[in-house]
Each structure stands twice: as structure tokens, then as C-alpha cells.
Amino acid sequence: MKLQKILSRFQKLHPKEIDLSLDRIKTLCKKLGNPQDITKVISVVGTNGKNSTIQACYSILKEANIKCNVYTSPHIQKINERFVFNNQELEDDELAKLFEEVEKINNNQPITYFEILTACYFYKAAQYPTNINLVESGLFYRFDATNILKKNLASIVTSISKDHLDCLPKNEQTIEKIVFEKTSSLLNSNIIVAKQNCMKTMNSIKKNINKNKSNKIYFNEDFSYSEKENNFFYFEDKFGGLKLPNPNIRGQFQLENISTAIATLRTLNLGISNENIKNGIQKINNLARLQEINSGKLKELVKNNLFLISGDHNVDGARVLNDYLNSLNCKKHLIIGMMANKEHKKYISYFKNISSITTVDIPNQPNAISGKKLKEKFKDIPNVKFNENIEQAIKSIQMNDGDLLLITGSLYLCAEVLNIN
């Protein structure tokens, strides 16, 4: 309860949820002694795959007994997920103490919620100057609160696509503009660029970082992977090839994220062994990214059928999610809830051969589109119905043994599933 009261105060410090500027966080961090300047950071920017790439890095680093701090957003179930130090989430009392310290120093000055949380993270991270920090950027990177570093170990650029278009003027809602916002201010260190969904995006990234003096590592030029049968895949870079077991997380696209993580860690020469990599990729904890639900009251309703949740919420996420579904030989049922600012019609257009689609409301999310309105947007899609809540939606679906149920469209919806279950 104490933690929630502090967070409520944080949310009232600025009238806007998003106000792209670095001035406020720079001012606060200066008062805090610029803690970000003594941290060892791997920055992760992009649209899709940021969290998955971070979790792959984190799992491998832990296998190598390397201490990490991790900063990600948004959280799925609790704010503590965003604040990992020395390989452990901060407990409520520790987090409350940290927040109160920074709140006092901020002295009610206007600052956005994400900015003050980011300042809190760096303030605590400075207590562990030898740890590796895995830091996920927020909305865009050029004016993102995480972009206050003077140096870092590396910048990872994951898949970039159109998302959060409402934050850009209509005449700037292009992939070129999004790439510019995410890559034009990357630091001079190492830049590792993951597989992109088209050459246009990759070429745009190359153009934007052309004058950057970093060591640049590109997918398909400097590292790659290939899928093989018998539950393994090959990874290759300038250090040689690795035969690796398939990871413990679902989706062919996760091999892209994992390969990017491996390429980054091998480039940094951190003393990580091949065995650390093999073990690490089989212990990745990736909440709400094609996560299988194996028990709980909602699982009882799904019975013996495969029950997955995945927070993919943009068009590119829908594309790779559908690729995964198409690899499975079973009937598929979707329950979908989305935020209002997403490309709803384009999103649903990527899903093919779906037996039923049920739209739902996302509770306690004022920026979500209602399930009824979402159903209206999907009116050209067959077999679409609406149900107010997740539990009733599951009960309304006629599933046979061997079917699959996927709940998707928003990380907030996935969080609701986990909370109910």
C-alpha cells in the first residue's frame, strides 16, 4: 500500500504521461550526483524484441556468474519487475525507501512518471558500479529518459517497426522518422543491429549510424543463425560457430533475439563460455511473450488445450506471432484486447486460419479500446464476438481437445490474465 501511494504521487508530478525531453531527468540526476555516469550499461532500443533480448542476455550473464542490474518497462504484474539489482528484484520496502529518497531530492519538481522511475533506477544502480546494467529504452530513444548516458558498453538495436504513431505528427509517421528517433543519438561504443523485417529498415538504420564511430555489428553480415532439426540451431559470428540447443521459450522469432544477445556478449569479451551460452538460453524467463499457462483457475477452464499469452501489440508483432501459430497443426482461438492508439485493423489482418476471435475489455486501463468497439473494427473478420471479461470469454469458446487458446493484443491484458489466474 505504501509503495502504491508513492507511485500515485509520482504520477501527479507532471500533467502529461509523455513529454519528450531530457531536461527534467538531467536536472534531477544532477541533484542525485549523476549516478548514470558510473554505470556499465548495455542499452537496448527498438520496437519489438527489446525485453526478450534483455532476458536472453541476463540469463547468459547469470550462468557466467556475472552480476547484473536490469531496467525494463512496462512491468507485467508488479513494479518491482523493473528494478533488478545484483540479480534480484527489489523487495517492496527497499523499493519504497529508494523512491522516497529520490522523491525528497526531486522536491515536487515537474517530471514524468517514467523519468522519475529511470532516475530512481540509476540512483540505485550506482551502488553496484561493477555490475552490468541491461537497460531498455522507453518510447523513442532520442528524447527517452534512458538516453542520458555519456558512455556505454554497447547499444543493441532490435527490430524497428511502426508503433506509438500518435506521438508523432501525421506527416512524420514514417519508418524513416522512427528509425531516426531510435538510432540517431546512439553512443560511440559497440552497436549490434538485429534482424529487421525488411531491407528498407536496415538501410535506414545504416544511414542513420553511418557517421557514428562505433564498432558496428549487423545481422546477416557479422552474425547469423540457422535452424536445424533435432532441437538445435547454429549461431555464427567472427569468433566461430556454435551448435546450440533450442531455447526454452517459444517462437522462431526468439532465435533472432537470442542470436542478437549472443552476438552482443561475445563482442564485449566478458569471459562468457560456450557452456554458459548453452545453459543460459534454456533458462530464459520471459513473462507474457508466448508464455504457456500450465496451472491456475483460467487453465482449468482451458482444460487440456495449449494456453498461451503474448503481449504483442503492433503490426510487426502480429506478423511474427502468426508465423508461429502457422507452424502448429491445430485449431487456434484468440482472445484480444488492445490499447486505443494501436493499428487495430492492420493488426488483426495478419492472423490467418483462426477458428474464433473474441474481443474483451482491458480492466483499469482508461487508454484501452473497449471490446465492443474493437469488435466493430473487426467486423470484416469472420467468427468475431465480444465478451466483457476474460473468464466469460474463455467459457464461451467451444474448444476440442488439442486446440490452442492465445490471449494477446496488449501486455496489460496479459497482466490481467496472470493476476486472475
3-state secondary structure 264-327: HHHHHCCCCCHHHHHHHCCCCCCCCCCEECCCCHHHHHHCCCEEEEECCCCHHHHHHHHHHHHC
- The yes/no answer on whether domain 291-420 falls in CATH 3.40.50.20 is no
Q: Count the alpha carbons within 13 Å of 80 in the hemisphere toward its beta carbon.
A: 14
**Options 2.70.70.10, 3.40.1190.10, 3.30.365.10, 3.30.1490.100; CATH of 2-280:** 3.40.1190.10
Confidence bin at 173 (pLDDT 50/70/90):
confident
**Dihedral pair phi/psi, residue 2, rounded to 5°:** -60, -45
Tell me the pairing of strands 240-245 and 232-237. Answer: antiparallel
What is the reported pLDDT for 84? 98
pLDDT in tens, 287-303: 999 999 999 999 999 99
Q: What share of the chain is helix, strand, coil (3-state, %, to 5)?
A: 40, 20, 40
Confidence bin at 164 (pLDDT 50/70/90):
low
**Dihedral pair phi/psi, residue 149, rounded to 5°:** -80, 145
Confidence bin at 256 (pLDDT 50/70/90):
very high
pTM flag (> 0.85): yes
Percent of the chain with pLDDT over 90: 91
Alpha-carbon distances of 420 from 33, 302, 359, 413, 414, rounded to whole Å = 42, 14, 17, 11, 10
Percent of the chain with pLDDT over 70: 99
Tell me the C-alpha distance between 20 and 315, whole Å. Answer: 24
| Nearby residues of 303 by Cβ (< 8 Å), 6 or more positions away | 399, 401
pLDDT in tens, 300-329: 999 999 999 999 999 999 999 999 999 999
Look at residue 165 and tell me whether its pLDDT is greater than 70: no
Tell me the C-alpha distance between 406 and 336, whole Å. Answer: 8
**Dihedral pair phi/psi, residue 294, rounded to 5°:** -100, -15
Look at residue 172 and tell me whether its pLDDT is greater than 80: no
Tell me the C-alpha distance between 239 and 241, whole Å. Answer: 7
pLDDT in tens, 68-93: 999 999 999 999 999 999 999 999 99
Confidence bin at 140 (pLDDT 50/70/90):
confident
Domain range list for the chain = 2-280, 291-420
What is the reported pLDDT for 230? 84
Which triple of cell numbers denotes residue 42? 548495455
